[in-house]
Structure 1
């Protein structure tokens, strides 16, 4: 009889067990059931990456022959190898081969420490029972949450139908209102044209009256100007001969331009405009423009002072005695000069526009009233049109928003949820905004506004992002990623800032409780049965 070493060695490398009535399929240690067919003891073993073919007795011989480590699934010989924990009664597990017989229990069935100094207990059944209880709780939560989710879906469907119906109604109303608005616009334009013509005629009349009034005022000012110039001429003509000489001009200290205490010939000639003597018409035409500013600006002009000094009475000198009539005449003349000196300067030509307001005649007033009424009616129609447009856009946004595969997340729109976390109060308003505020007071900081769903391929609705929040100092704009999971109530349960200005919220909602056959299958992914 020929001794078959392969069969003999296979007795040592084959892993088999009977646990609580369940049986594990015989195969090399560390090989998952899905790869059992690659490990046939009756054939040479081909490395799974095709790098080599070796005798089967070299499998699990604690020496790495294959580049991918597939010949040593049950030992730690290959650094890139993997070990499969069957974990019957619980969940199978894949660990790196380096953990095999390292003195640490990694597999609940103790299969990874078969040749170790440490003794590991097989507690897969206990862990499986614990997981079963947790699974039942989870499934119960999913069932309860799903019942609420179904009401969300029904409400969302009804609201979407109502929104569509309201949108159609508003669009129909908008066409009617737009037609009315266009009619009001045309009526407004027509009456405004008539109003414009009437107002132009009215303004032309006002302009004509204004010019007439200005001309009249100009004439009055010219008369007043001539009178003032004449009065000053009389005062400067100290000998009252009807002629002002250079000496008479020199006697007036106000003409001392260089303030040296006397009026020079050149200074006198400046105010006489180069003339040796001045009569009244020449004085008004040539000299008065230079003299007037001096006279107007004198707090107490020297003509009055000099004349008052000449007419003072002296009881000891008969030559200086004045009779009573002369004294009265001088006082009246002095009062006139003082009045003229203290009065404000009156320019020769008006630089201020004269305002003239002329009341509308009956026909113009009617056109103005009609135009105002037409504008009011148009503005009212325009406001109504804009209001309908705004409502239409709001409804369109609702219909365009992704509220989940069946609209279940629409139940969250319009609601806000708060959470006290450390020193802040966080607020989440789904499909709107997120913010934080200090518990000690102050304004809210905008963390972002509704962005979009950013879930995985398996669950597109497991998270969404709020973006475009308040800019951080020397940093990005704040943003929040909201992770949603199943819960029997809508609740913000956790908030954190894992990165600067990038926040993370955890939110539970019945809208995320999707209970179907796939959920049952995913929770049944445990080895509570035989592999046979």
Structure 2
């Protein structure tokens, strides 16, 4: 019974000891407060250097006794240490010890004013009031507003993702449809080309059956004219060569004439110079009239080509009358062609002019058979239209595939903003960016616009908290006596897509800052809710 009573007494004693409050030490968190309690002898060991034992009264005595500075958590005595602000009712903070008891209330970190309590206790400065309750209320209001904004931005982002998914699926369907259409058009074109070959063969047979043979005299005239043209070109080249030699000889004689000294009695030289002067008198200038100009040679070539492609007219047919083909008309046309050839030969002085020739006339177009059947024209149009449709469909298919493969940011979200433009009046200019388009700067004074760059690519800023999107616009308009303009657009998480600020750190290099729900990839509503509750 005696032992039981003693046990009860010891249990009560230990319970009372457990209920005994810890000694308060300024500048220490509640979790670390147990580390700052004296032993049964009123002693205390430095936390980082337990071999150094101090009297408990030496803690926060404004003298740095521990090598690690752990004995002065509430003063500025030990450099490089931190003061812990408990900020009850708000968020705890850490303040560099150098700012403790400096006469300044650092409410941004220590809203409870505990960083200046040492001076206040000594009566050296007015006491820093505790503003934690007020500041926490403001903090919660801002936190809730930000949370609401982020939730709205997240909802808008989900809408953009769904829109991008629909657009992507539609693009895949379009590609499949275009691929099927391309195959169908290729097959259709192959069939139509085969049909066209049949119609063309039938048309060739019809034309051949209704074509009058070319008179032999035309072939003979063509061959003779080609021979004369080749001979004349050789003759012209020989004359040109002799003319060059003559010019060179004249130059030599002219130099000899200039260098000749009449005081020297040289009969041979005198005779040569006298003969040269007589030659020059009889031939004052070397004529270039023998060189046939390009226009005349071209006319001859045209005549030859006309003879090559000359086709006598097909016999005329009628539902009411039929008649034998007459050579009166082709013979008349051929005689007219012969006259033109004769005129050219006279112009070239190849044959004499006996008065029958007239002035040079340009050859008329050679008569051709324009009686192409309606069926052939129809088939040619069908093939041409099918080729055009195939080419356009292949172009559209290529663009669709390229769009599907293009990088559109996380979750393909920027696909939903493609071809969307956003602008903002930021001072003297209105700045505008078009996703996958261009960035521009428009003056508010004269409405003049400048291209700041064309969309190049997009990346994610890994350093940002919410996964900011970086859009690059390159190869804009050239600055006056400067570089080519370029713009970098940084979009952070926001409810709406908007431009907020523009800077130009380097000439003609622009940095545009804005917000967009597309840049909220890292936002987690549950994480924000949890963080807010923990901080409360």
Q: TM-score surpassing 0.5?
A: yes
Query: Are residues 1:112 and 2:127 paired?
Result: no
Say if 1:503 and 1:267 are closer, same or farther in 2 by CA, change over 3 A: closer
In the alignment, what sits opposite 1:321? none
Say if 1:71 and 1:414 are closer, same or farther in 2 by CA, change over 3 A: farther
- On the 8 A contact 2:487/2:512 being kept in 1, the answer is no
Q: Alpha-carbon deviation of 1:129? A: 0.9
Instruction: Quote the Cα distance in structure 2 between the aligned partners of 1:29 and 1:187.
Output: 101
- On the 8 A contact 1:449/1:468 being kept in 2, the answer is yes
Which deviations, in whole Å up to 9, do the C-alpha atoms of 1:279-316 show, x marking residues without a partner?
xxxxxxxxxx989969xxxxxxxxxxxxxxxxxxxxxx
TM-score by length of 1: 0.56
- On the 8 A contact 1:453/1:460 being kept in 2, the answer is no
* Among candidates 497, 511, 515, match of residue 504 of structure 1: 511
- On the 8 A contact 1:486/1:510 being kept in 2, the answer is yes
Higher relative contact order (CA 8 A, sep 6+): 1
Query: Are residues 1:481 and 2:478 paired?
Result: no
Query: Are residues 1:174 and 2:163 paired?
Result: no
State the superposition RMSD in angstroms. 5.1
Say if 1:421 and 1:169 are closer, same or farther in 2 by CA, change over 3 A: same
- On the 8 A contact 2:492/2:516 being kept in 1, the answer is yes
Instruction: Quote the Cα distance in structure 2 between the aligned partners of 1:60 and 1:185.
Output: 101
Instruction: Quote the Cα distance in structure 2 between the aligned partners of 1:35 and 1:355.
Output: 113
TM-score by length of 2: 0.56
Query: Are residues 1:30 and 2:27 paired?
Result: yes
In the alignment, what sits opposite 1:91? 91
Q: Alpha-carbon deviation of 1:103? A: 0.8
Number of residue pairs matched?
382
- On the 8 A contact 2:153/2:493 being kept in 1, the answer is no
Which deviations, in whole Å up to 9, do the C-alpha atoms of 1:381-435 show, x marking residues without a partner?
542343233342354146x422x44x55544332211111111110022343322
Q: Alpha-carbon deviation of 1:380? A: 1.5
In the alignment, what sits opposite 2:527? 518
Say if 1:160 and 1:346 are closer, same or farther in 2 by CA, change over 3 A: closer
- On the 8 A contact 1:493/1:507 being kept in 2, the answer is yes
Q: Alpha-carbon deviation of 1:75? A: 1.8
In the alignment, what sits opposite 1:75? 75
* Among candidates 402, 415, 419, match of residue 420 of structure 2: 415
Instruction: Out of 476-485 and 80-89, give the one that drifted further.
Output: 476-485
- On the 8 A contact 1:191/1:370 being kept in 2, the answer is no
Instruction: Quote the Cα distance in structure 2 between the aligned partners of 1:417 and 1:78.
Output: 55
Say if 1:25 and 1:394 are closer, same or farther in 2 by CA, change over 3 A: farther
Q: Alpha-carbon deviation of 1:64? A: 4.0
Q: Alpha-carbon deviation of 1:115? A: 1.6
Say if 1:170 and 1:266 are closer, same or farther in 2 by CA, change over 3 A: closer
Instruction: Quote the Cα distance in structure 1 between the aligned partners of 2:133 and 2:484.
Output: 51
Say if 1:61 and 1:291 are closer, same or farther in 2 by CA, change over 3 A: closer
Q: Alpha-carbon deviation of 1:88? A: 1.9
Instruction: Quote the Cα distance in structure 1 between the aligned partners of 2:287 and 2:403.
Output: 80
In the alignment, what sits opposite 1:456? 462
Instruction: Quote the Cα distance in structure 1 between the aligned partners of 2:22 and 2:413.
Output: 46
SS of the equivalent of 2:531 reads helix
In the alignment, what sits opposite 1:494? 501
Give 1 or 2 for the bigger CA radius of gyration.
1
Which deviations, in whole Å up to 9, do the C-alpha atoms of 1:346-405 show, x marking residues without a partner?
54469x999685445689999x9799769735742542343233342354146x422x44
Which deviations, in whole Å up to 9, do the C-alpha atoms of 1:32-91 show, x marking residues without a partner?
4565576565563332xx7x7533646544344566655533221233222222222222
SS of the equivalent of 1:88 reads coil
Q: Alpha-carbon deviation of 1:444? A: 1.9
Instruction: Quote the Cα distance in structure 1 between the aligned partners of 2:31 and 2:361.
Output: 103
SS of the equivalent of 2:173 reads helix
Where in structure 2 are the equivalents of 1:66-465 lying within 5 Å?
69-106=69-106, 107-116=110-119, 117-119=124-126, 120-180=128-188, 210=222, 212-213=224-225, 346-348=347-349, 358-360=366-368, 376=384, 379-397=387-405, 400-402=407-409, 404-405=410-411, 409-439=414-444, 440-456=446-462, 459=465, 461-465=467-471
- On the 8 A contact 1:210/1:354 being kept in 2, the answer is no
Instruction: Quote the Cα distance in structure 2 between the aligned partners of 1:164 and 1:381.
Output: 21
The runs of 5 or more residues in structure 1 that have no matched partner are 1-23, 220-263, 274-288, 295-344
- On the 8 A contact 2:503/2:510 being kept in 1, the answer is yes
- On the 8 A contact 1:415/1:430 being kept in 2, the answer is yes
Q: Alpha-carbon deviation of 1:466? A: 2.0
